[in-house]
Amino acid sequence: MKTLRLLSSTISILFVLNGSAYPLFSQAPTSPKILFTSSRDGNREVYIMNPDGSDQVRLTKHPANDLNAIWSPTGEEILFISDRDDVRDLYLMDPDGSNVRRLFKKEVYRGRPAWSPDGTQIAYMHLRWDIDEYPIYIATLGEQKEEELIMNAHNPAWSPDGTEIVCSISVRLTIINVRTGKQKRPLSRKVADWQLQPSWSDVGNKIAFTGHKDPPLPPDRKPGDPFPPGWEDKQTIFIVNSDGTDFKQLVAEAGPKASRPAISPNGEEVLYTQEINGLLQIFKVDVNSGVHTQLTHIGHFFQANSGGDWFDPAYALPVAPQPKLLTTTWGEVKKK
């Protein structure tokens, strides 16, 4: 009886944190799904679709801008950015769009989140417009502490084993050891210039990113200097192993620039965003065959559809309840 009372008390604590109640475990998708941002209904909202582009369903319904949604490793939660409280910050919701709540109690301009593979931490950018700084922070979910990882870096993405984060520092891919802070750069600027927006696959140790191959910018170019004619439109999508080997261009440089790559969990496909007929649309490319597929087709103004994040239950973190997991974040993310 004492054991039952203890178990009941523990579950009650997990259900009610900081005075807010929500489900211990929400329902993860049973088939692969993609999250993306669309402005087709007048402002940016979070949508979900199948990997072939079918069944596009709106998840958020708010007059504010909701965008850049990512899956938790279990698929039971979605982390996204919203300015519904006047400042863009991080919010959580269930996979059906319900149970929306702000992640942190203290409101700060946060963006570009990435979830650690074990589901216990997130990395994200602090945007300090007043002093023009962009540090990457790591927060352990369920705790109060945020720790700065690196200053003036962009777009963090975790390694499959959770020991490293890749980001862009001085427009170069930079891999940082989370524990030691040691840095390494897998590619030189001669291979690809302006290496931005990395995405790391769950398996295969592959990193997709945006960049330029030809022509590179002059090494002495200063911020604010004009770009060479047509240079910006040559931004495209590349993929490379985390050790810098097997470098490959996935999207041709002809046409409008390609951006926002998101590599599939198995490393075999990459989402990207590109303008077509004056509107941003989402495409995917098969890494091996090179076949491109347009996934979205509608929209009313330029920022029609963009970004993306994959979930595949075949690569999801197991969710079977275990005592050692009660201190992690699957059912007990705490408002700060």
Handedness of CA 305, 261, 103, 320 (dihedral sign): positive
Q: What is the pLDDT along the chain (336 residues), one digit of tens a residue?
A: 433 333 333 333 333 333 333 344 579 999 999 999 999 988 999 999 999 999 999 999 999 999 999 999 999 999 999 999 888 999 999 999 999 999 998 888 999 999 999 999 999 998 876 656 789 999 999 876 889 999 999 999 999 999 999 999 999 999 999 999 999 999 998 899 899 999 999 988 999 999 998 777 777 777 778 888 888 889 999 999 999 999 999 999 887 999 999 999 999 999 999 999 999 999 999 999 999 999 999 998 899 999 999 999 999 998 633 333 333 332 333 333
pTM for the full predicted model: 0.85
Sorted by sequence, the CB contacts under 8 Å of residue 2 that are 6+ apart come out as none
CATH fold of 186-311 reads Neuraminidase (2.120.10)
| Every domain of the chain and the residues it spans | 186-311
Residues 32 and 51 sit within 8 Å (Cβ to Cβ): yes
Sorted by sequence, the CB contacts under 8 Å of residue 17 that are 6+ apart come out as 332, 333, 334, 335
Residue 18, both tokens: 């900081």
How far is residue 273's CA from residue 241's CA, in Å, rounded to a whole number?
A: 22
